[in-house]
């Protein structure tokens, strides 16, 4: 069968992160009726895969089966050259059970300093997965490269945005207008691939 999402379809967004839910809603630009997994009281599955794509697919399948709706899941994170790719798929876990990214950013800065390495290259990766209940799934991935910058700057965005400046710019994601970030982020690049595949 052709895998297509019809405009206006009801989708469950497999996240309990309000910032991520808002950003996905903005990127989808009102095309679909969205409900967050947190709003439906769906449990958060344990992320046991070793890649962003694997974890996105795991979350999408879990939400689709639990809700009976087509599910959209995102798994994303920040990787750094100085820490050989960390925190990577563990980005959210570095924020602890309280999802405190101020703690995560301090932890990251401390580890980079302790490493003694000069590299500040970093990249955000986003995998998006769409899963149909009891059916097929599609997974795509986007990436944006840039550099770490300390101390954090800006109170827009979420997660590690205040310590990441994308290539070619001086503003961090945390300082950018949301529309400017959405036009070039890892999530936007992944969505462009998803759109080409199933929209």
CA distances from 3 to 10, 69, 192 (A): 15, 15, 16
Which residue of the set 29, 74, 75, 100 is catalytic? 75
Of 126, 132, 104, nearest in space to 56 by CA: 126
- Catalytic, 75? Answer yes
Question: What is the DSSP-derived secondary structure letter of residue 42?
Answer: P
Residues 6+ apart with CB under 8 A from 56: 73, 74, 75, 127, 128, 129, 139
The answer to whether 149 and 165 have CB atoms below 8 angstroms apart is yes
Q: Which residues are catalytic?
A: 75
């Amino acid at each position: 069968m052709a895998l297509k999402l019809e405009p206006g379809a009801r989708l469950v967004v497999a996240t309990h992160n309000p910032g991520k839910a808002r950003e996905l809603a903005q990127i989808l630009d009102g095309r679909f009726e969205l409900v967050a997994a947190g709003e439906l009281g769906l449990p958060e599955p344990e992320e046991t895969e070793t890649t962003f794509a694997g974890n996105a697919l795991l979350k999408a399948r879990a939400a689709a089966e639990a809700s009976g709706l087509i599910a959209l899941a995102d798994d994303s994170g920040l990787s750094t050259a100085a820490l050989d790719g960390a925190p990577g798929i563990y980005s959210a876990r570095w924020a602890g059970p309280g999802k405190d990214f101020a703690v995560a950013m301090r932890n990251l800065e401390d580890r980079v300093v302790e490493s003694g390495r000069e590299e500040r290259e970093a990249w955000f990766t986003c995998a998006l997965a769409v899963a149909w209940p009891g059916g097929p799934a599609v997974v795509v991935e986007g990436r944006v490269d840039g550099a770490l910058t300390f101390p954090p700057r800006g109170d827009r965005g979420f997660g590690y945005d205040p310590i990441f400046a994308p290539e070619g710019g001086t503003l961090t994601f945390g300082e950018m207008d949301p529309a400017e970030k959405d036009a070039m982020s890892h999530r936007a690049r992944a969505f462009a691939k998803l759109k080409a595949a199933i929209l």
